[in-house]
Structure 1
Amino acid sequence: MPDQAMIEEPLRPFDARMLAVGDGHWLYVEEVGRRDGTPALFLHGGPGSGAQHAHRRLFDPSRFHALLFDQRGAGRSHPYLSLTANTTQSLIADIEAIREHFGIERWLVVGGSWGSTLAIAYAEAFPERVNGLVMRAIFLGTHEEVEWAFVEGPKLFRPDLFAEFIALLPEDERSDPLTAYLRRLADPDPAEQAPVAQAWAAYERALSELAPAQTRLTAPVGQSARLPPTPIVEGHYIRNDFFLEPDQLLRDAHRLHGIPGVIVQGRYDLLCPPKSAYALSQAWGNCRLQLIDKAGHAMTEPGVTEALVAAISEVGERR
């Protein structure tokens, strides 16, 4: 078990670089831990949110050589917010490009929310390159999950927040708010795009915690007026069904049978409810599903980060 004191503070990368992956995209990639440690890859959520300092804390620096990168259009990668050649298949190819660039044969892959979607898709495409999976808040990229996360779930459990979310739309569009929001998120006119992007980001943030500090669609104090990136990239992926065939990830879960893993799942995750994690665990078979009581969606929910650190240590020892 790693010494928690070693990973309390975000770790400084021992190296960082921009990596050209084609289609005009340059990815920001950083390395933390030790160069001769167990190779691990972290996949951030969103899509579009970028890797965060807190994600570095998941990896014991005395044991792991962890790579974190900002996916196409996200964070410090260039061009920022680009949707050109920004698909699930492109991101899978980028992961392989990173692996080959660093001369890694096989690695542990870690991801949460959208990062779990990408981790599953990558592992199903290249199972021989993955020696373990640790994932949080499973999202399988289906229309049913999107409708639940943004419409049906909030209607039932956060009706006040849902009412505020649809109030930004003309009355005749409120019966199908998801379509209306997605159309505006794709609008190049800042007057149309910016208000719904800010509302979407605040909505997701409020839905991600079991006991949210923020209960209204207002930006946190001190937040930059810069257009939030996640809604723009996320909207692009939702409009394109995450570039996946219907039920693709569950259909191909048999390809994960040779890969050990752990799923860490908040029992009261409103955005990515346990139904998807349970379905994947049953289809996968070679994994342990750990439900965290009194936890919602966010990695910062009580007990979630601790469970991830322990799971990464556990699966990392099996290489």
Structure 2
Amino acid sequence: MKRKIFSILKWTFLILLGIFFFKACIPSKQDIQSIKPRQSTKYWNLKTGSKIAYTFIEGKGNKKPYPVIYLHGGPGGYVHSKVIEVLGQLSEDGFDIYLYDQIGCGLSDRLKNVNEYTATRHQKDLEAIVELLKAEKVILVGQSWGSALATLFTADNLNKVDKIILTCPGAVKPVRDSVEKLKAPDSLNLKDPLDVNSSAISFALKPRYIAIRVWAFLGKKIATDEEADSYLNKMAAGFTKGLVYDPSKTLPEEGGGGGYCNIKTPTSYSRLADPRPKLINNNIPVLIIKGQYDNIPWGNTNEYKNIFKNSQLKIIEKAGHDVYIEKPDEYLQTMKLFLNISS
């Protein structure tokens, strides 16, 4: 009897395994349209080899000396039209605004070799952009992962950074796991956002997506860039509901997710040189904006306060990780106030 049960279990396992590999080998339907160039879209061909898409909004009136460069979240995110709409308003105060899609994301090119998607590559691209702009200094606005990128850049280019605005900053890279355990003071009244982890995890466990990720970790593309992007965009349609206070305010995806960039860039974090020692005693003015319902642990936010001594924190109530969606006016005015005070 035991032998019969074992035989049934063995064949059941083999059949399920066969079904898994069969599904893993079948390309998925790409039913989310890829992002299309805007009328404002321009391109840089950087010395790093990256072809980068960007939007430039020229400052009006009395021009400020240093441009604003926006660094989107992810890795694998992109510049959403809403961000252009909101941050573009800084141009009214004389700031030149540059919003670019990181390599492998949005309207920028995809890399043939997935192993080239690293945090260092993103930093080198940013350095090349600043050099190309011939700006004496820049003002960096980092969203989520973009804040970690801004920190990596600043550590190696202290003399190039005038001010930094970190919005719902993701963990400083390389990550210190112990930092996340710090609890937020009750006085901040921070709240947990909608939990969307179960839907994101169930999507990530699809056989085809597992196969794409496994081969990418091995340095190979088993799927086209379009298919890998499509998976990230489909998943984003679900997890972005947890990036706002009110899920009904979630913006439609514009199809700019960079699948392979999202998979591979995080694997490079552990190989990074720690930027923290280079930032000791820096006096760069920094504004940290955090939504009351931000999904980033308080400990990660607090680490930025410790690294940047000349920093100030602004909590925006009834807003999630993507503050610019629900509280665009308060988000913008907080930035303008900071830029004027510290200019």
TM-score normalised by L of structure 2: 0.67
Which ranges in structure 2 are unaligned for 5 or more consecutive residues? Answer: 1-37, 182-191
Q: What is the aligned length?
A: 282
User: How far has the Cα of 1:143 moved from its partner?
Assistant: 7.5
Provide closer, same or farther for how the CA distance between residues 230 and 210 of structure 1 changes in structure 2, counting only shifts above 3 A.
farther
Larger radius of gyration: 2
Query: What pairs up with 1:14-29 in 2 under 5 angstroms?
Result: 17-29=42-54
- Does the 8 Å contact 1:73/1:79 carry over to 2? yes
SS at match of 2:248: coil
Stretches of 4+ moved more than 6 A in 1?
178-181
Aligned residue type for 2:68: A
User: How far has the Cα of 1:200 moved from its partner?
Assistant: 3.1
- Does the 8 Å contact 2:199/2:239 carry over to 1? no
Distance 2:201 2:134 in 1: 49
User: How far has the Cα of 1:303 moved from its partner?
Assistant: 3.2
Q: What is the match of residue 254 of structure 1?
A: 280
Residues 105-159 of structure 1 show CA distances to partners (whole Å, capped at 9, x for unaligned) of: 11111111011111111111101000100110111243749x99xxxxxxx9756
2:339 to 304, 315, 318: 315
1:211 aligns with 2:246: yes
1:37 aligns with 2:64: yes
SS at match of 2:148: helix
Q: What is the match of residue 257 of structure 2?
A: 229
Distance 2:260 2:215 in 1: 10
Q: What is the match of residue 295 of structure 1?
A: 319
1:64 to 95, 99, 103: 95
Q: What is the match of residue 201 of structure 1?
A: 236
Which ranges in structure 1 are unaligned for 5 or more consecutive residues? Answer: 1-10, 149-155
SS at match of 1:311: helix
Distance 2:314 2:289 in 1: 5
User: How far has the Cα of 1:203 moved from its partner?
Assistant: 3.8
Percent identity reads: 21
2:197 to 149, 157, 162: 162
SS at match of 1:229: coil
- Does the 8 Å contact 2:193/2:243 carry over to 1? no
1:110 aligns with 2:129: no
Q: What is the match of residue 151 of structure 1?
A: none
Greater Cα offset, 129-138 or 293-302: 293-302
Residues 2-60 of structure 1 show CA distances to partners (whole Å, capped at 9, x for unaligned) of: xxxxxxxxx985xx642222454211233213284342111111222222333333223
2:299 to 275, 286, 291: 275
User: How far has the Cα of 1:101 moved from its partner?
Assistant: 1.8
Q: What is the match of residue 80 of structure 2?
A: 52
Structure with the larger RCO, 1 or 2 (CA within 8 Å, 6+ apart) = 2
- Does the 8 Å contact 1:267/1:293 carry over to 2? yes
Provide closer, same or farther for how the CA distance between residues 201 and 104 of structure 1 changes in structure 2, counting only shifts above 3 A.
same
Distance 1:79 1:163 in 2: 29
Distance 1:200 1:184 in 2: 19
2:222 to 185, 188, 195: 188
TM-score normalised by L of structure 1: 0.72
Aligned residue type for 2:237: A
CA RMSD of aligned residues (A): 3.9
